[in-house]
Structure 1
Amino acid sequence: MDEGGVEREYRKRRKQPRTQLLLLGLLMMNAFVQTSRVDSDGDASGFRWGPPVVVLLLAVAIARIALEYFRAHTRVTAAGITAQGPVRARTWAWSEVYDIRVEQAPRGSGRAAPQWLTYLYDFQGRRFLLPHLNDWQVDDPYAEVAELCLAAAPLRSLTWERRPDVEERILRGAMRRRAWTWGTYGAIAVFCLSFVVDIWRVAVGRPDHPFVLMVCVPVASGVALAAVLQWLWTARPPRTGVAQGPN
């Protein structure tokens, strides 16, 4: 950060938590077991392709973590803001930025992930995550964003005032995300139920259908639930001014 100016850069400074690495190991172990199961007729051909699949998944996960650690960052200059993700970068001029807001992370992230994230909103109401501008990498993200908005004010042709039409689009987008979040929860619940049903079918000697029960049914259920909730919630007249920002 330059003295009293807007130039600053946010990068990852905190190490990957051990709980995430442990979860990754458990997922890899489960993938190995699932891809190496012996069929009911005694065919053990899965052992020939199971390990390569696990190695591929592990390589993808390690590459994703490495890119997030060394490449992803948020850079702020007098020209605008650049959000560099693990692969793709996106840049906004200050005249294209509607607001910058600190928001609570989705439920269930726990202590293994940041609790407060920073998003950039454009004038179409679209939301974009600013990498590493969160409570893990910044001591006080609210104060940081407030200072950033204050420093950037002279660089904008517009003030940071709220616009009802943009707030309406932001609220509708929040409703869509909420619907798909609950759809994901529903899919997880159906997956757990399908897993129990699949075990029961194996125990009583009935033919099991793991792909249908644990992939097709949960995905279809989650999509259907999300679509219904999105239709119900977005059909209501949105109330403007609900989303909270730091400025």
Structure 2
Amino acid sequence: MGEGEFEREYRKRRRPPGAYLLLLGVVLLNALFQAGRPYGEGGYRWGPPVMIVLIIATLVRVLLEQYRAYTRVTSAGITARRPLRTRTWAWSEVYDIRVEPLPRGSGRQGPQWFTYLYDFDGRRFLLPHLDDWQLPDPYAEVSELCLTADPERSLSWGRRPDVEERIRRGALRRRARLWGGYGAVAMMVVMFVVSLALVFADRADHPFLLIVCVPVVSGVALSAVLQWYWTVRPRN
């Protein structure tokens, strides 16, 4: 590496908990067992195969995330390699790099601080493995990277009001989608109870409509309303 060049690569150091992989294995075995059982008339034959496909896809993603994904920072720019996609930015395309906390209510089973790259269009991109699980102090690491990898820039990178406004709107959209997801989960629980009540009452039951369609539509509607309320209404 020549003088003035810089390169640093970040990969997953902390492996998934053994209990997590064990649970996936138990669920997979149960799905295989259920797939081999005979079904009575009207049984849902598609259930176990779909479950098996989803579990295998999850396992494949975990393996790809473990051994393929990385973030590489050089004097030329930043490369973020995800399980299925790779993106590269030159330093001239980077508006800012920020370490941000996980939204409240997301649980404490994983990293609590993530590092995101923002471009000049206000779009946000996750930089894999620059988090508090893989690094003791992500903010200090990012500060050093910004100062070392591109000496012509510093942490006092100029703020542009138009880009900041786009970043703010993007954050509000993500917040609305998050609460829309919460609403969909709550509605799914309600519809599950309704479906059970219909079964016990010996009335017509439509589980796919009640447990899938209604929560999805409710979540999308709630997300759209919140996004309008937080972005459009305050300007009127």
TM-score of the superposition, structure 1-length normalised? Answer: 0.83
Give the alignment's Cα RMSD to 1 decimal: 3.0
1:30-69 mapped onto 2 (5 Å cutoff): 42-43=40-41, 46-47=44-45, 49-69=46-66
Which shifted more, 106-115 or 10-19? 106-115
- What's 1:16 paired with? 16
Label 1:94 to 1:226 Cα distance change in 2 as closer, same or farther (>3 A).
Answer: same
1:1-150 mapped onto 2 (5 Å cutoff): 6-18=6-18, 20-21=20-21, 24=24, 42-43=40-41, 46-47=44-45, 49-150=46-147
Q: Given residue 14 of structure 1, which amino acid in structure 2 is its aligned partner?
A: R
> Any gaps of 5 or more consecutive residues in structure 1?
238-247
1:126-205 mapped onto 2 (5 Å cutoff): 126-155=123-152, 160-205=157-202
Larger relative contact order, structure 1 or 2 (CA cutoff 8 Å, min sep 6):
1
2:202 partner SS: coil
Once the two structures are superposed, residues 191-221 of structure 1 have per-residue CA deviations (whole angstroms, 9 ceiling, x without a partner) of 0000000011111111211100000000000
2:151 partner SS: helix
| Pairs aligned (count) | 233
Distance 1:29 1:228 in 2: 42
Once the two structures are superposed, residues 121-158 of structure 1 have per-residue CA deviations (whole angstroms, 9 ceiling, x without a partner) of 00000000000000001110010011111113425599
Q: Given residue 7 of structure 1, which amino acid in structure 2 is its aligned partner?
A: E
Quick check: 1:121–1:127 contact (8 Å CA) kept in 2?
A: yes
How far did residue 108 of structure 1 move? 3.6
Quick check: 1:117–1:135 contact (8 Å CA) kept in 2?
A: yes
Once the two structures are superposed, residues 39-90 of structure 1 have per-residue CA deviations (whole angstroms, 9 ceiling, x without a partner) of 8xx416545x544333322221111100000001100011100000001000
Label 1:148 to 1:3 Cα distance change in 2 as closer, same or farther (>3 A).
Answer: farther
How far did residue 38 of structure 1 move? 9.1
> Any gaps of 5 or more consecutive residues in structure 2?
none
Label 1:157 to 1:149 Cα distance change in 2 as closer, same or farther (>3 A).
Answer: closer
Q: Given residue 12 of structure 2, which amino acid in structure 1 is its aligned partner?
A: K
Quick check: 1:9–1:73 contact (8 Å CA) kept in 2?
A: yes
Quick check: 2:8–2:72 contact (8 Å CA) kept in 1?
A: yes
Label 1:36 to 1:109 Cα distance change in 2 as closer, same or farther (>3 A).
Answer: farther
Quick check: 1:95–1:156 contact (8 Å CA) kept in 2?
A: no
Distance 2:104 2:32 in 1: 29
Distance 2:220 2:33 in 1: 28
2:197 partner SS: helix
Matched, 1:213 2:201: no
TM-score of the superposition, structure 2-length normalised? Answer: 0.87
Quick check: 1:17–1:112 contact (8 Å CA) kept in 2?
A: no
- What's 1:244 paired with? none
Label 1:208 to 1:33 Cα distance change in 2 as closer, same or farther (>3 A).
Answer: farther
Label 1:178 to 1:26 Cα distance change in 2 as closer, same or farther (>3 A).
Answer: farther
Quick check: 1:121–1:128 contact (8 Å CA) kept in 2?
A: yes
